[in-house]
Amino acid sequence: MAQNLQQLKKRIRVSNNIAQIAKVMEMIAVSKIRKAQELVKKHNPYAKKIKYIVQKILTEKNFHEKIEKFLKDKDGKRLVYIIFPDKGLCGSLIVNISKKVASYVQSKDYIIAIGKKAMNDAVRFDYNILASFDVGVSFPKYDDIYPMIDIAKKFYLSNEVTKVSIIYTKFKNMLIQEPIIEEIFPIKSNKNFKKENKVNYIFEPNSEHILRELLPYYLETEFYSALTNAYASEQAARVTAMKNAKDNANEISTYLANIYNRSRQEKITNEILDLANGQQGI
């Protein structure tokens, strides 16, 4: 019995330590998610406006050959960016996005892995890895995207690939983070603009010139939006995972403490009975 009590005390101590570690990691993730939510909130209106203008211009469909290549969908190799966290302990987020990648990526596609977990996943499934980048543990900076998108520009402009896509986790709220596939190039025009918006816009000097100037910003904003959403999703998932881990550890600790107290009381009672029986024998 004494040995069992020592084992119970050890298990209770371990459970309490796990609960404390999970609580600290939860607090760190909470502090990060607040900043991430704020920055995602600030960036989204700009990204949506750039996308809106590009989509609006595309409804005209009268462009020079140099612009047309960004609009027409063709068969061929694809360049696929996959964005994972650098670290785990974020619940089912990594598993969910890995399933999304497996359902989309083909053997001939070029893969750019962003995040250590993305690299591990790409190696495990033997994808055609072109490059890899770490995302770190801090919020992604805008300057970080340039080495990443330069590869897309080079391969798409040289016709090495016919499509550029990003697979990442879109942040909706603290409870919902959805893995999605976003096709950056070719750009698909929104046919609903003609139906929804009856305003006749005047573009100066012309829509083709504006579209040509906007294309680099369009790529940057779409890519940075994916990175910020992926980071916010990681922190939100980690908050939930660490909270669940903390609660489970506390429940286990309470359960073991109850068993320990009952066992200890039982031991004391048995010792008293042994003493009483000994006194009666005398």
Q: What pLDDT score was predicted for residue 110?
A: 93
Q: Structurally, how many domains does the chain consist of?
A: 1
Could you tell me if residue 250 is inside a domain? no
pLDDT at 65 over 60: no
Cα distances from 235 to residues 56, 129, 173, 198, in angstroms, run 34, 26, 11, 42
Cα distances from 41 to residues 96, 166, 172, 238, 268, in angstroms, run 24, 20, 11, 20, 61
Q: What pLDDT score was predicted for residue 66?
A: 57
Which range has the worst mean pLDDT, 4-13, 101-110, 174-183, 208-217? Answer: 208-217
Could you tell me if residue 8 is inside a domain? no
Could you tell me if residue 251 is inside a domain? no
Could you tell me if residue 118 is inside a domain? yes
Q: What pLDDT score was predicted for residue 190?
A: 64
Q: What integer is the mean pLDDT of 33-54? A: 82
Separation between Cα atoms, residue 112 and residue 128, nearest integer Å: 9
Burial class from Cβ neighbours inside 10 Å (0-12, 13-18, 19+) for residue 51 reads: middle
Whether the CB-CB separation of 67 and 54 falls below 8 Å is answered with no
pLDDT at 7 over 80: yes
List, in order, residues 6 or more apart from 252 with CB less than 8 Å away.
11, 15
List, in order, residues 6 or more apart from 232 with CB less than 8 Å away.
33, 36, 37, 40, 171
Q: What pLDDT score was predicted for residue 196?
A: 55
Could you tell me if residue 65 is inside a domain? yes
pLDDT at 277 over 90: no
CATH code (residue 107) = 3.40.1380.10
Instruction: Report the DSSP pairing between strands 163-171 and 177-185.
Output: antiparallel
Q: Map tokens 């050890």 to a residue.
A: 10
pLDDT at 61 over 60: no
Cα distances from 278 to residues 150, 281, 282, in angstroms, run 88, 5, 7
Residues in the chain: 282
Could you tell me if residue 58 is inside a domain? yes
What is the SS3 assignment for 10-51?
A: HHHHHHHHHHHHHHHHHHHHHHHHHHHHHHHHHHHHHHHHHH
pLDDT at 94 over 60: yes
Band (197; pLDDT cuts 50, 70, 90): low
The domain of 107 spans 23-240
Could you tell me if residue 249 is inside a domain? no
Could you tell me if residue 278 is inside a domain? no
Q: What pLDDT score was predicted for residue 79?
A: 93
Band (166; pLDDT cuts 50, 70, 90): very high
